[in-house]
Amino acid sequence: MLCAMCVSIFQTRGSDVSDVVRGKHHGSIEDVETAAEQGCYLCSELILDYEYEEGENPSGTVLSFELELARMIVSPRGRLGLLSFESADGRLSSATYEIVYTANLQTPQGYHLYLEQVKSDLDKQPWRVRCDGFPASTDPVSESTGDLSVLKTARDWLDCCLVTHASCGRTTAASDPQWYPKRLLDLSSEVRQHIVLTEQEIIHEPYATLSHCWGPNPSICCLTAENMDGYRQDIPNDVLTNSFRDAIAAARMLKIRYIWIDSLCILQSGMGSQEDWQEHAVAMRRVYSNALVNIAAARAESGADGLFASRPDALLRPCHVQWGWPIKRRDGVDKRFWTIRKSGRHESHSIRTLPLYTRGWVVQERFLAPRVLHFASDRIFWECAELSLVEESFPHGFQDSCPEYKTIVQWPFSTTEITLEASAVRNDSDLQASSSDPTWALWQGMLNEYTRCDLSFPDKDMFVAISGIAERFGSSFNHEYVAGFFRQHLPFDLLWQNKGERSETYRAPSWSWASIDGGVQFAVEDCPYCDVCCNRLATVKDAFVELVNVDNIYGAVKGAELVMTGYLLPCEIQAVATTGTGLRQKVAIFPHLAHDKLFDHAPQPDDPLRQSTSTIFGEADIDDEEDSLRGFAVVGQFTAWAIPIIELKIAPDNSYAKHWGLLVKKKSCGKYERLGIYRVKEWVMAKMLEEKACIEQDVCLV
């Protein structure tokens, strides 16, 4: 529902679909607050976005709006209204809304009278909210996400998925229904819960899993060697965190007897805890992929916050309005009724910005689970292979009500379907990398997401926290896993771009994304690197990996080397500008000086050798700030080297010439460490081959 002032925005007609309508909104924040208290959807959102300190008096602040109708970027035939607000004092943030045509909405009885009454309210009661007659305006809304009616919606989603979703059925078939984790919490009693050892009990019923944040100073209850016997009898409610209690309550309301919670099902300390952890690290993929559903405490920063939250009902009710723009459907029917939704209420945006999804471990928990029930800040969301991120306000999906709408922001869900399909069609002997391979693109996107998340112990967990999902992808990529890469994607995937800092403690080779604390980015160009449009200038000859746990090929490494066959060209790097934690620099590559006898005699700035027309100039992104600040300008001996990796093989007229490679530095042992990547907007191979000094050789990267 809307207040009189907000309804009036949509009664102003533009003379053309390209018109922009601007006007004044409420004359004070007090009016916005009053309208919000009466249930106005827009004003309820606006008051949340208005930033002022407690005790301040923002009296007199005037709001204004701008409304336009634009073509949807992703659907040229569709139309999307864009509504934005601003305040005179500049304290209103994120106040942008989408207005989407809504199908199958009938004009409520008495709607014409409603509009007349709203018009009469404008002069003296612009904040007044009248019932507009839409069913969504009168349907009851639960005060908490823990209410029985909310959990009934979740159970309806689960039942629908189990009975009607063919894709979800295939993902379940791909799991092992006879396998269970080593330990589970048994919730069969309504008043207590206890640990069961699945090897000692006959279990046929499904189980749920829980994703949660431990918090910065966790004081959650944990399973230890000392309390194991007691917890097998009973885990007292008073030792459980709010998140654990809520998750157990949710599982019971979903009629799920068992739940797996990491801190209560893996030994955290005491005799045998290290071995138990290693065993579970290997089994992590099966723990989540065999679960019936993953319950996600998305809103909770720690166990104290819990899953359940109270919420204002105005934000939960779908908000519809008659909009008077002169637009006709192709079938001749006026587009009269539209749904208003804040841009930040996109399901993917609402979820991925919550505390849980800043946590690195949760990336694989979400990707591996066949279904996820998210408990967000004011509502619940559902995800599965066929129903991607639906929420209470639109339980069948926003597009079910608004068929012309397609969200621009996407957040990929399960790997199961895509890896199953890829495995069915992929020839194991065909190692050609293609940008059309959806599994490869999903793997890169997942790494982009994962490396931006936080790990409490990155040096120990960087590989392990993603080992389950790596194993899942490994079924499609022949399981040739090399320190965070699948070998068939090399050398292309070596061209990741760093947005963090290299770890001071060794946990991965310099050429692996896992050596970086912070985000990395794959496929930074418009076209992903692949054999379809790129020539390989280097190949991987051999790879050596020493594992911490030989039983987990996807786990932590003690060391790794990559032997590549390619060209090693001397270069110099000059720092020119800062970009984040690293520095974007200029690089000059000297293919004409690549002969052994010149390695120790680098040219000075006035040396004719340095001014050769064969010199190649480009840009470099250096991984480590210490290396960036030091720079690698030539003094008397080359200390930086370029290894050409790929070059576009399209547009031979040089109109779209691009070339990429690795920058490395030589170690005293004769092996090389990665410094970063470089790019050149010209054909490089032609210049290289003109120089007889350029010969292929083996280069060992560490």
Mean pLDDT of the residues in the chain: 82
Looking at the DSSP bridge assignments, the partners of residue 674 are 664
Q: 419 is written with which tokens? A: 């890896």
Q: What is the pLDDT of residue 103?
A: 65
Contact status, residue 544 vs residue 566, Cβ threshold 8 Å:
no
Contact status, residue 547 vs residue 483, Cβ threshold 8 Å:
no
What are the C-alpha distances in Å from 216 to residues 298, 620, 660?
A: 16, 37, 41
| All residues at 6 or more sequence positions from 229 whose CB lies less than 8 Å from its CB, including other chains | none
- Pairing, β 582-589 against β 497-502: unpaired
Q: CB neighbours (10 Å) of residue 548? A: 15
pLDDT tens figures, 376-417: 988 999 988 888 778 888 887 776 656 555 554 455 566 665
| All residues at 6 or more sequence positions from 140 whose CB lies less than 8 Å from its CB, including other chains | 149
Give me Rg for the CA atoms of the chain.
Answer: 30
Question: Average pLDDT for consecutive 10-residue bins of the chain (702 residues)?
Answer: 93 61 87 93 89 64 77 50 84 80 80 93 94 85 91 94 85 72 94 93 94 83 93 94 96 96 95 93 91 96 94 86 65 65 70 89 92 93 84 75 55 58 49 62 88 92 94 83 94 87 92 92 64 84 95 94 93 65 72 57 51 77 72 60 85 68 90 93 74 81 97
User: 């990559």: which residue's tokens?
Assistant: 562
Contact status, residue 357 vs residue 372, Cβ threshold 8 Å:
no
Contact status, residue 348 vs residue 410, Cβ threshold 8 Å:
yes
Contact status, residue 311 vs residue 143, Cβ threshold 8 Å:
yes
pTM: 0.85
Contact status, residue 320 vs residue 108, Cβ threshold 8 Å:
no
Q: What is the pLDDT of residue 75?
A: 44
How is 29-74 classified by DSSP, letter by letter? HHHHHHHHHTT-HHHHHHHHHB---TT---TT--EEEEEEEEE-SS
Q: CB neighbours (10 Å) of residue 166? A: 8
Phi–psi pair at 32, nearest 5 degrees: -60, -45
CA distance 477 to 490: 12
140 burial type by CB count under 10 A (0-12 exposed, 13-18 middle, 19+ buried) = exposed
Contact status, residue 391 vs residue 157, Cβ threshold 8 Å:
no
Q: Note the maximum CA span of the chain.
A: 92
CA distance 515 to 458: 10
686 burial type by CB count under 10 A (0-12 exposed, 13-18 middle, 19+ buried) = exposed
The letter for the amino acid at 25 is H
Q: What is the pLDDT of residue 581?
A: 46
Q: 502 is written with which tokens? A: 């290299």
CA distance 264 to 185: 8
Contact status, residue 415 vs residue 367, Cβ threshold 8 Å:
yes
How is 599-631 classified by DSSP, letter by letter? TT-PPPTT-GGGG-TT-EEEEEEES-HHHHHH-
| All residues at 6 or more sequence positions from 259 whose CB lies less than 8 Å from its CB, including other chains | 184, 185, 187, 207, 208, 209, 210, 247, 248, 251, 295
28 burial type by CB count under 10 A (0-12 exposed, 13-18 middle, 19+ buried) = middle
CA distance 403 to 327: 17
CA distance 411 to 541: 36
E-only strand ranges, 170-219:
183-186, 194-197, 207-211
For residue 504, the SS3 value is coil
Reference 367, options 468, 277, 266; nearest CA is: 468
Q: What is the pLDDT of residue 347?
A: 64
CA distance 332 to 677: 56
Contact status, residue 458 vs residue 368, Cβ threshold 8 Å:
no
Phi–psi pair at 58, nearest 5 degrees: -85, 25
Q: 541 is written with which tokens? A: 């000859």
264: left (phi over 0), alpha (psi -120 to 50) or beta: alpha
